[in-house]
Amino acid sequence: MKILLTGATGYIAQRLLPALLQEGHQVVCCVRDKNRFNAERFPPENLSVVEVDFLDEKSLQNIPKDIDLAYYLIHSMSTQSGKFEEMEATCAFNFKKTIEETTAKQVIYLSGIVNDEELSKHLSSRKNVEGILSDSSFALTTLKAGIIVGSGSASFEIIRDLVEKLPVMIAPQWLKTKCQPIAIRNVIQFLKGVILKKETYNQSFDIGGPDILNYKEMLLRFAEIRGLKRRIGIVPVMTPKISSYWLYFVTSTSYALAQNLVNSMKIEVICTPNNLASTLGITLIGYDDSIRLAFDKIEQNQVLSSWKDAQTSDLLQKGLTQYMEVPVNGCYVEVRKQAIDNPEKVLQNIWKIGGKQGWYYGNWLWEIRGFMDQLVGGVGMRRGRKSDTEISAGETLDFWRVLIASKSEKRLLLYAEMKLPGEAWLEFKIVKDELVQTATFRPLGLLGRVYWYSVFPFHGFIFGGMIRNIINS
């Protein structure tokens, strides 16, 4: 069966793709930038990748006509733009128009559980997208989920940040809101299970786990599973803006996403009962077991996807390609070279940089720089990295974005996503028996030049210590 998978670099699609390939389906992945998609992770026989931007009608010509069904897994909730509802509607309309020109019999759309009486902008947009897709020549199957729990999921990582960082929490009123979390494994089972099932055509199903909990209960049960004692006090007055800042500074979410999450968390998301799970033979996983399964993956260093990789400034919108050629003219460049005895060991150390490992020298200074970035609305150092040992182009690495990660070329190229009066690249490359470490900064105006000279005195011991310890660790 030939399946079109949109949002192929996103959290859900990266979990769904290997499951579809394992069952022998031919999958066409839609990505805005092929450089962000690591095709080497998957068997090549039944996999193809096309560059498509559903906001750009010309690119839609890349979608093949001979497909059997399509997954619609596109959303703009974490965009820095306040017009994500408009963007989602445009994407949905262009997708519908394109799929109607193919041989697809079914579209499977993963949406959110909605409350008809009161909707946040995020949930209202999801409902609007469903309306656009349902008015079409193909059959639409809509699956609606609330909180998705799995290693690397936004909900899981936000809960983890709150529980592990704060022994005592003074929390807003919305922690009393009830929801029905669902394990990522169950979500993938539902997404696969409804493939070409005629009884699901032009139907909508809420999907959730067996537990109905409020957010406070979810936090406390998470803490219990992790063996942590936590206290939570709820205050009656905490504005959405304050709540958003609370999430932004404590967790790894962006402020834009925090705003959308807070608005959604004020609304109960409980499933309308249906028999889809029993029809498909799916055993629902409880919240506690979902947490344990997530940590099993984390401890085995097998996190397949992370929501943080989609969290960015405008970099992913523009595409990685235009940033991969490091500029020379009008730039400040600092190059350090050092002979090495064991290139393979040094390459392994480069591939571990950031996250839990840190930056090999002056980690507390990196943390201070990250905190300063966060104060002015930047991403800070909170994003970490998905895997402790492996890294691919397009992934996040603290406040950097990975542009090139090529072990064959022995090269790692990073682009800074922190707030800067200019642009910055950091490159590590092994050339024969020498490690070359290059920091490049392209200043923006006078402020950019002042910034470079103000931080330059720190480069001597930070970058010098970093290259030494990468070699000697």
- The answer to whether 325 touches 442, Cβ cutoff 8 Å, is no
Round to whole Å and give the CA distance between 319 and 342: 35
Kindly write down the DSSP assignment for every residue of 309-370, as one continuous string. GG--SSHHHH-SGGGSS---TT-EEEEEEEE-S-HHHHHHHHHT-BTTTB-SS-HHHHHHHH
CB of 93 closer than 8 Å to CB of 132 = yes
Among 81-85, 196-200, 364-368, name the most confident range: 196-200
Find tokens 């809960």 and name the residue. 159
- Identify the structural domains of the chain with CATH numbers, from first to last: 2-307 (3.40.50.720), 326-472 (3.30.530.20)
The fraction of the chain above a pLDDT of 90, given in percent, is 40
> Residue 41 above 70 pLDDT?
yes
Residues 286-307 pLDDT 10s: 999 999 988 887 766 555 555 5
The residues near 273 (Cβ < 8 Å, ≥ 6 apart) are: none
Instruction: Give the Cα separation of 410 and 53 in Å (integer).
Output: 31
The Cα-based distances of 63 to 7, 135, 141 in angstroms read 13, 21, 21
- Looking at the DSSP bridge assignments, the partners of residue 422 are 443
**Confidence check: pLDDT of 393 > 90:** no
Rg (CA), the chain: 23
Give phi and psi for 334, each to the nearest 5.
-125, 115
Higher pLDDT, 298 or 398: 398
For 241, which DSSP code? Answer: H
Tens-digit pLDDT profile for residues 246-284: 677 777 666 666 666 666 677 788 899 999 999 999 999
**What tokens were used for 463?**
């970058």
Tell me how far apart the alpha carbons of residues 328 and 324 are, in angstroms, rounded to a whole number.
12
Work out the pLDDT band at 139, boundaries 50, 70, 90. very high
The pLDDT, as a whole number, for residue 301 is: 55
C-alpha count within 13 angstroms, C-beta hemisphere, residue 172: 16
Most confident of 78-92, 138-152, 232-246, 255-269: 138-152
State pLDDT tens for residues 152-161. 777 788 888 8
Q: Count the Cβ atoms, other than its own, within 10 Å of residue 288.
A: 14
Amino acid at 382: R
For 5, 26, 379, the CA distances from 103, given in Å and listed in that order, are 15, 15, 42
Reported as a single tens digit per residue, the pLDDT across 103-136 is 999 999 998 887 656 666 666 777 888 889 988 8
pLDDT at res. 335: 93
pLDDT score, position 213: 93
- Name the band, by pLDDT with cuts 50, 70 and 90, for residue 28: very high
pLDDT for 34: 81
Q: At what angle do helices 184-193 and 287-299 cross, to 10 degrees?
A: 100
- Read off the amino acid at residue 196: L
**DSSP code string of 251-291:** SS--HHHHHHHHHHHTS-B-PPP-SHHHHHTPPPPPHHHHH
Q: What is the mean pLDDT of residues 39-53?
A: 86
pLDDT at 385: 82
Distance CA 262, CA 338 (A): 49
Q: How distant is the alpha carbon of residue 40 from its chain centre? A: 19
- Is 80 exceeded by the pLDDT of residue 446? yes
With a cut of 60, say whether residue 81 has pLDDT above it. no
Tens-digit pLDDT profile for residues 169-212: 887 777 888 889 999 999 999 999 999 999 999 999 999 999 99
Q: How far is CA 402 from CA 366, 427, 458, in A?
A: 17, 10, 23
Q: Return all residues near 51 (Cβ < 8 A) that are at least 6 apart.
A: 31, 32, 33, 34, 59, 62
Range with lowest mean pLDDT among 91-100, 115-124, 139-148: 115-124
For the chain, what is the mean pLDDT?
Answer: 85
Whether 99 shows a pLDDT value over 90: the answer reads yes
Contact predicate 105/137, CB 8 Å: no
**Whole-number Å distance between alpha carbons of 151 and 304:** 8
Residues 345 and 351: their CA atoms lie apart, in Å, by 10
- Give the tokens for residue 275: 């028999």
